Structure 1
Amino acid sequence: MDIPPEQSLITYPSDFPIKVMGTAVEGFEEAVVAVALQFDPGFHAGRVERRPSKGGNYLGLTLTVTATSRAQLDALYSALSSHPMVKVVL
């Protein structure tokens, strides 16, 4: 369902944080960044915040992407959620 721009809580374009969690394995962060680049070509790894779990088994990443539309964000969430290395997307 499309939300008319005047009813959206987001003004496009804008910086938009997305939290992604997965197992702390080699290649996880790179895989998530690769997905983000598909939807935000200007995204770079310097816009990733890392938070390892207390036990070090999981890694939480906050990606700040440039949101240009609701459709872009929906597609990005879908791609991240379906990635085999990703456990949760918020």
Structure 2
Amino acid sequence: MPNPSPSAPQEESLIVYPCSFPIKVMGLKHDLLLPTVTKIAHRHDPFFDAASVELRESSTGKYLGITITITATNRAQLDALYVELSGHELVKVVL
């Protein structure tokens, strides 16, 4: 009888949780972009401090870059946050 195959090794993370984790969000400059991004951040990090948000407008003023810093507690939290941000119609890029 053959030996069962060994289970796949667990991915090792380079991130040590919990930690402060900056995320850059870019989208068309729109009145609802900033409140939408902060609302999503609060959903994934109840202790998110909106006062820590950094904004950067593009040179043409058409786009807005938003840097949020959350307290990352695990990979699933980060994945869920990236999925929700990336899926929003106002958001063009999440880094």
Larger radius of gyration: 2
> Which whole-Å CA distance do the structure 2 matches of 1:64 and 1:32 have between them?
11
> Which whole-Å CA distance do the structure 1 matches of 2:77 and 2:42 have between them?
12
Residue 61 of structure 1: which of 60, 63, 66 is its match?
A: 66
1:26 aligns with 2:20: no
Root-mean-square deviation (CA, aligned residues, Å) is: 1.3
1:84 aligns with 2:85: no
Q: Which residue of 2 aligns with 1:15?
A: 20
- Answer 1 or 2: which has greater helix percent: 1
**Runs of 5+ in structure 1 lacking a partner?**
none
Q: Which residue of 2 aligns with 1:49?
A: 54
CA shift for structure 1 position 45: 1.1
Deviations 1:39-69 (A, max 9, x none): 0000021121100000111000111000000
The 4+ residue runs of structure 1 with deviation greater than 4 A are: none
> Which whole-Å CA distance do the structure 2 matches of 1:39 and 1:55 have between them?
32
> Which whole-Å CA distance do the structure 2 matches of 1:27 and 1:47 have between them?
18
Name the TM-score, length of structure 2 as normaliser: 0.87
Name the TM-score, length of structure 1 as normaliser: 0.92
Local SS of the residue matching 2:82: helix
CA shift for structure 1 position 17: 0.5
Q: How many percent of aligned residue pairs carry the same amino acid?
A: 54
- Report the count of equivalent residues: 87
